[in-house]
């Protein structure tokens, strides 16, 4: 198969795909109008649920699993990590066992797991929508057990080292040996403990700016400390709700233009994402209301949001990966290819695989319509068309 298309940099090329891989990519000199754009497909490291399917509950049927995977294809995503939020030990055991079985049978675009919890900071300002009573201190024994269930599918763990710095360091070191990435998040860690966690191998920070108290000291806060740790990759949620546009703009620009770039984008999508309808959804045992503005929040009457008034806490987002890349570009005032890299090749290389339009790589890509604000024409995964716009 040969495709003529325009890269996000504006250059025109002929892309040849043979079997599952890119065989040849040839720049073309001539100008051809109205060519589609071609870009590496999107990789999302934090998907709690999608298209009405909640990954934090046992999945009802094979059809539900296929539906969620296909809808992620329909939003440009050929690789995602299931995010499992704080749960009871047996809850993790059950979900990991069930989902690992499904992924082994039929992985589609699922790359594995991101455990967001239970080793988070239970303080009301940092716990976000997670249940404090299920949180616990980092525990290498549990890491061993859970990676025993999920094997190589356990890819990423988010933890808060300050809860027990010594135990956290041993989890981070044990994870590094197993090639599991560790991110910090839902955490108040700063200063020396932060530096030690990075030294031990912590590679990133999960959705910086969220799961942070509403008021913090102006300089001594986790946002500045994480930004200043230049080894840390940092994920942001570009839905305009998790971070107000001005805060997103500053952080995304600084991170996208660092050398090397440190920006990662994720949707943190929950079951209401990709549905396009307000209503009540679940996130594990939590009930989440999706409003007309697209926000996904705990009902105020539900788990109390201590110290907060007004609407309940955000509990994931309804953002889709494809929309997220464009919103990030617009909010941050960066080039589309900068936002796109942060949502495709960069998370892929963090997870340890080669991704992008290069000879020998798996042919995973999106074709976009040639308009100024393009829509998704098609998604290809391992050289096969897995979604085509109606």
List of residues contacting Zn ion (CB under 5 A): 128
Residue 15 vs 208, nearer CB to Zn ion: 208
Residue 128 vs 204, nearer CB to Zn ion: 128
Nearest approach, Cβ of residue 128 and Zn ion (Å) = 5
Residue 41 vs 136, nearer CB to Zn ion: 136
Q: Are 78 and 386 in contact (CB under 8 A)?
A: yes
Residue 126 vs 146, nearer CB to Zn ion: 126
The DSSP line for 212-254 is S-SS--SSSSHHHHHHH-TT-EEEE--SSSSS-HHHHHHHHHH
Residue 283 vs 348, nearer CB to Zn ion: 283
Nearest approach, Cβ of residue 86 and Zn ion (Å) = 9
Assign 365 to helix, strand or coil. Answer: strand
Assign 131 to helix, strand or coil. Answer: coil
Residue 40 vs 128, nearer CB to Zn ion: 128
Give 269's DSSP letter: B
Residue 114 vs 381, nearer CB to Zn ion: 114
Nearest approach, Cβ of residue 379 and Zn ion (Å) = 27
Distance, in Å, from the CA atom of 238 to the CA atom of 251, rounded to the nearest integer, reads 11
For Zn ion, the nearest residue by Cβ is 128
Nearest approach, Cβ of residue 199 and Zn ion (Å) = 24
Nearest approach, Cβ of residue 248 and Zn ion (Å) = 16
Helices 89-105 & 140-150, crossing angle to 10 degrees?
30
Nearest approach, Cβ of residue 316 and Zn ion (Å) = 8
Residue 86 vs 361, nearer CB to Zn ion: 86
Q: List 3's β-bridge partners, or say none.
A: 15
β-pairing verdict for 77-85 and 42-47: parallel
Work out the burial of residue 77: count CB atoms within 10 Å of its CB; fewer than 13 is exposed, 13-18 middle, 19 or more buried: buried
Assign 366 to helix, strand or coil. Answer: strand
Q: What angle do CA 299, 302, 305 make, to 5 degrees?
A: 85
Residue 343 vs 387, nearer CB to Zn ion: 343
Residue 75 vs 130, nearer CB to Zn ion: 130
Element (H, E) at 297: strand 295-297
Q: List 17's β-bridge partners, or say none.
A: 22
Assign 16 to helix, strand or coil. Answer: strand
Nearest approach, Cβ of residue 76 and Zn ion (Å) = 23
Nearest approach, Cβ of residue 85 and Zn ion (Å) = 7
Nearest approach, Cβ of residue 211 and Zn ion (Å) = 5
Paired tokens of 310: 């007004």
Q: Are 143 and 116 in contact (CB under 8 A)?
A: no
Q: Are 126 and 211 in contact (CB under 8 A)?
A: yes
Nearest approach, Cβ of residue 146 and Zn ion (Å) = 18
10 Å Cβ neighbour count for 260?
7
10 Å Cβ neighbour count for 65?
20
- Residue 151 phi/psi, 5° resolution? 60, -140
């Amino acid at each position: 198969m040969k495709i003529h298309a325009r890269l996000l940099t504006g250059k025109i090329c002929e892309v040849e795909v043979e079997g599952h891989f890119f065989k040849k990519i040839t720049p073309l000199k001539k100008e051809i109008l109205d060519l589609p754009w071609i870009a590496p497909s999107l990789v999302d490291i934090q998907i709690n649920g999608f298209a009405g399917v909640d990954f934090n509950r046992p999945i009802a049927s094979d059809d539900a699993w296929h539906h969620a995977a296909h809808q992620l294809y329909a939003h440009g995503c050929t690789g995602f990590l299931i995010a499992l939020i704080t749960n009871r030990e047996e809850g993790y055991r059950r979900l990991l066992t069930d989902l690992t079985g499904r992924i082994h049978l039929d992985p589609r675009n699922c790359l594995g797991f991101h455990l967001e919890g239970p080793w988070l900071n239970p303080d009301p300002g940092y716990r976000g929508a997670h249940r404090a009573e299920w949180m616990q201190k980092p525990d290498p024994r549990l890491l061993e057990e859970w990676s025993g269930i999920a094997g190589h599918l356990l890819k990423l763990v988010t933890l808060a080292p300050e809860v027990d710095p010594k135990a956290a360091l041993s989890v981070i070191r044990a994870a590094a040996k197993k090639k599991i990435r560790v991110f910090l998040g839902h955490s108040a860690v700063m200063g020396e403990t932060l530096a030690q966690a990075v030294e031990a191998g912590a590679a990133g920070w999960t959705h910086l700016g969220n799961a942070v108290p509403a008021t913090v000291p102006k300089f001594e806060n986790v946002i500045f400390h994480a930004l200043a740790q230049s080894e840390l990759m940092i994920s942001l949620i570009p839905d305009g709700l998790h971070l107000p546009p001005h805060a997103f703009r500053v952080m995304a620009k600084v991170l996208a233009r660092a050398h090397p770039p440190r920006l990662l984008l994720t949707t943190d999508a929950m079951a209401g994402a990709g549905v396009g309808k307000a209503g009540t959804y679940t996130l594990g045992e939590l009930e989440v209301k999706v409003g007309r503005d697209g926000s996904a929040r705990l009902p105020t009457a539900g788990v109390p949001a201590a110290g907060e008034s007004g609407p309940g806490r955000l509990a994931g987002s309804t953002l889709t990966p494809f929309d997220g890349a464009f919103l990030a570009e617009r909010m941050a005032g960066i080039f589309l290819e900068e936002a796109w890299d942060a949502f495709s090749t960069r998370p892929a290389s963090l997870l340890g695989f080669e991704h992008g339009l290069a000879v020998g790589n798996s042919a995973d890509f999106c074709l976009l319509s040639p308009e100024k604000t393009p829509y998704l024409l098609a998604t290809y995964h391992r050289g096969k068309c897995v979604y085509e716009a109606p």
